[in-house]
């Protein structure tokens, strides 16, 4: 039998629906610079793996020297990664806008957060809800998986179903007093079933299984 679990008290659950205005403060120049550095690091790490020049080194059993980043073809690989990062940002923005709208944010508020008008927000993210009304059901994508949060038919409680990155499927064993609590539980499920890529920065190949061949690699005359 399904269990119903209250989360906090009615006041704390209800407060989640009271949007702060403004909902954010503008980040400082230093915080923006830090964000750019972090994004650069992420792109840099993936570019090291997809660069044809870096791959030659990996095929020869060693990592590319640091100077590889100064080669124009490596920069092109980095630019290619940034393209996919831009697509990822657009996808994350759409998912976030949809979630915000489903939880009661209006198109005016969603648009303000993105720096566009209400009309532009509605056109950009038509799936973002009924302009301020709490949706009966909404989905989210996190950690390579997908979950759907919905109101229990005929009740004021909420539930969720999800499919994790590893293929595991699950539905809530209990109902929740608010969509925010159900959303948090669904996100925890997706996080627990995330499958990492299985590599660490700086470790590209199992060197113990490969005899490094620097003499015939392009980087033979390059100092690390």
Total number of domains constituting the chain = 1
pLDDT (average), residues 89-109: 90
pLDDT in tens, 148-185: 999 998 888 999 999 999 899 999 999 998 888 999 99
Cite the beta strand spans of 50-206 per DSSP E.
137-142, 145-151, 158-163, 169-171, 174-176
Q: Is residue 189 part of a domain?
A: yes
pLDDT at 143 over 60: yes
- Is the pTM higher than 0.85? no
Look at the alpha carbons of 145, 149, 152, 158 in this order and tell me if their dihedral is positive or negative. Answer: positive
> CB 169: neighbour CB atoms within 10 A?
11
- Structural domain for 153, as ranges: 136-197
Say whether the peptide bond before residue 22 is cis (omega within 30 degrees of 0). yes
Residue 196 near residue 171, CB atoms below 8 Å = no
Q: Is residue 8 part of a domain?
A: no
Q: What is the DSSP letter of 155?
A: S
State the chain's mean pLDDT as an integer.
82
Q: Which residue in the block uniquely carries the two structure tokens 């669904």?
A: 186
pLDDT in tens, 101-138: 888 889 999 999 999 999 999 999 988 877 667 788 88
Q: Is residue 160 part of a domain?
A: yes
pLDDT (average), residues 209-216: 58
pLDDT at 208 over 80: no
The two tokens of residue 186 are: 């669904």
Q: Is residue 121 part of a domain?
A: no
Rounded to whole angstroms, the Cα distance separating 186 from 170 reads 9
Q: Is residue 177 part of a domain?
A: yes
Q: Is residue 209 part of a domain?
A: no
Radius of gyration of the chain (CA): 23
Residue 194 near residue 41, CB atoms below 8 Å = no
Residue 29: predicted pLDDT: 94
Q: Is residue 184 part of a domain?
A: yes
Residue 57: predicted pLDDT: 82
Look at the alpha carbons of 106, 110, 111, 115 in this order and tell me if their dihedral is positive or negative. Answer: positive
Q: What is the DSSP letter of 191?
A: H
Q: Is residue 140 part of a domain?
A: yes
The two tokens of residue 143 are: 């950690």
pLDDT at 9 over 60: no
Confidence class for position 209, pLDDT limits 50, 70, 90: very low
Confidence class for position 203, pLDDT limits 50, 70, 90: very low
Rounded to whole angstroms, the Cα distance separating 110 from 97 reads 6
pLDDT in tens, 215-224: 678 777 666 5
The conformational region for residue 132 under phi > 0 = left, psi -120 to 50 = alpha, else beta, is left
Confidence class for position 1, pLDDT limits 50, 70, 90: very low
């Amino acid at each position: 039998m399904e269990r119903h679990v209250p989360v906090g008290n009615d006041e704390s659950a209800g407060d989640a629906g009271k949007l702060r205005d403004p909902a954010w403060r503008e980040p400082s120049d230093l915080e923006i610079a830090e964000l750019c550095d972090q994004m650069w690091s992420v792109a840099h790490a993936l570019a090291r793996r997809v660069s044809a020049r870096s791959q030659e080194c990996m095929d020869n059993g060693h990592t590319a020297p640091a100077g590889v980043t100064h080669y124009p073809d490596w920069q092109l690989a980095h630019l290619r990664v940034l393209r996919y990062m831009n697509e990822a940002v657009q996808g994350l923005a759409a998912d976030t806008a949809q979630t915000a709208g489903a939880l009661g944010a209006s198109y005016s508020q969603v648009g303000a957060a993105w720096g566009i008008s209400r009309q532009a927000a509605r056109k950009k993210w038509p799936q973002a809800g009924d302009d301020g009304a709490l949706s009966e059901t909404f989905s989210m994508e996190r950690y390579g998986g997908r979950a759907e949060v919905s109101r229990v038919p005929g009740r004021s409680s909420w539930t969720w179903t999800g499919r994790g990155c590893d293929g595991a499927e699950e539905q809530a064993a209990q109902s929740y007093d608010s969509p925010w609590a159900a959303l948090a539980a669904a996100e925890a499920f997706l996080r627990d079933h995330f499958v990492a890529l299985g590599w660490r920065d700086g470790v590209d190949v199992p060197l113990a299984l490969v005899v490094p061949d620097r003499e015939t690699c392009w980087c033979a005359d390059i100092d690390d």
